[in-house]
Amino acid sequence: MVKGFGPPVVRPQEVKESKILRHSVIQHFQAIEDPRVDRTKRHSLMAIITIAVLAVLAGADSFVAIETAGIAKQAWLEKFLDLPNGTPSHDTFALSVGSARAWGVAGELFELGEQYQ
């Protein structure tokens, strides 16, 4: 994403959508404990899980595909996620999602899916 050309222009509908998405993600994933060591936390677990979920919903079928989707949609993701270090790498997704799985992400995803059916 090109930086330095002033603030991005955001339509009112995008503001509304980003608020809804941010609230929904925080509501469902805030209770998950981050099992990572503090010195390895370049990206928030919330951002990693959110990007992974959205990428998989869009058809990503591997951690490389999740990273690629995150890079392609980084400008949009930055509207509601803090990404000071850019999009996490595929290795970060693999390690973080793999360790978070043991901490209940699957249950939270099931509840999130039930809410929108």
| Residue 2 maps to a domain | no
- Asked if the model's pLDDT at residue 107 lies above 70, the reply is no
- Give pLDDT, residue 55: 87
| Residue 7 maps to a domain | no
Quote the percentage of the chain above a pLDDT of 70. Answer: 72
| Residue 3 maps to a domain | no
Whether pTM > 0.75 for this model: the answer is no
| Residue 4 maps to a domain | no
| Residue 94 maps to a domain | yes
Q: Are 65 and 55 in contact (CB under 8 A)?
A: yes
| Residue 89 maps to a domain | yes
- Give pLDDT, residue 44: 84
Number of domains the chain is built from: 1
- CA–CA gap between residue 68 and residue 60 (Å, rounded): 9
| Residue 53 maps to a domain | yes
Q: Are 1 and 84 in contact (CB under 8 A)?
A: no
- CA–CA gap between residue 80 and residue 89 (Å, rounded): 19
Q: Which domain holds residue 51?
A: 12-29+39-115
pLDDT in tens, 48-76: 888 888 888 888 888 899 999 999 999 88
| Residue 6 maps to a domain | no
